[in-house]
Amino acid sequence: MKLFGVIGKPVMHSLSPAMMNAAFRAQGVEAVYLPFQVEPGDLVDALRGLRAIGAVGINVTIPHKLGVYDWVEARTEEAEMARAVNVVRFTPTGGVGHNTDVGGWWASVAPFLGEGALRVAVLGAGGSVQAILTALAKERPGSQVCVCCRRHEQAEQLAARYADWLSIRHVPWPDRHETIARADLVVQCTPIGMWPNGEESPVDSPDCFHAQQVVQDIVYRPLRTAFLRQAEARGAKVVDGASMLIWQGVKAYEWWLDREAPVDVMRRAVYGALEREEADRRE
């Protein structure tokens, strides 16, 4: 029996166990995927322990992506560019770090985008933004990205890091609506609107959205955030945050096992779990 898992804090809410275990069952893989809550101070001990007991690989979530990046003995190009690791494959002497948030995010939005460089509005400047910028640098170099956030220095650091591939500029938070209106692709990367505050939105009025846009919210609890409902009402193509979760899981599964993942099975597991959660909250 192969052992896989996810480490983080908190982690018991993760949908990855349901998604990965469903994939294992569908393909007859003798494996189990478990959640492991790990304190930041225990990270190295946890990684060594998982390797020692023969774990094949793990996913990594908040707050450990940077700590694991420092721990692994080798990293893929995606991990190096994003400066974060969300997937590890253990080796006899340590582990190889990868970042499937990069390819997972791109797979979630690419089917809805045209060709060529993009005008992108990103709300927020947290860790997920680095994966998005890495994907744009790899897949759509030359794109213009406006990072709407409150801290100017965060956006400036990102602009310097990705200067060889992207034109990035900071947009003060109060000016976000005008920036959204000019964008081909809008990605909401703040926790605004996350359950239990599902009626909150980072946008004051839906008037900034239009039918030629693709709009994504990486929040997936609730699945249809107020932000997405605003964009959809104006005719934009909306993409929920669960799609990024699913595709990063697909990429991790394939990287670990070197076989095609059962995408539809993984998709049904995630959306089914989210629908059950929302039904329970309504009762």
Which residues carry out catalysis? 65
Q: Which two tokens stand for residue 80?
A: 């190096």
Q: Is the separation of the CB atoms in 181 and 210 below 8 Å?
A: yes
Q: Where are the alpha helices (DSSP H) in the chain?
A: 16-27, 43-52, 65-71, 77-82, 100-109, 127-139, 152-161, 176-181, 226-233, 242-257, 263-282
d(CA 122, CA 217): 10
Sign of the alpha-carbon torsion through 17, 18, 19, 21? positive
Sheet containing strand 167-172, strands side by side: 167-172, 144-149, 119-123, 185-188, 214-217, 237-239
d(CA 104, CA 191): 19
**Helix 100-109 to helix 127-139 angle, to the nearest 10 degrees?**
70
3-class SS at 171? strand
Backbone angles phi, psi at 6, to 5 degrees: -135, 135
Sign of the alpha-carbon torsion through 117, 261, 33, 198? positive
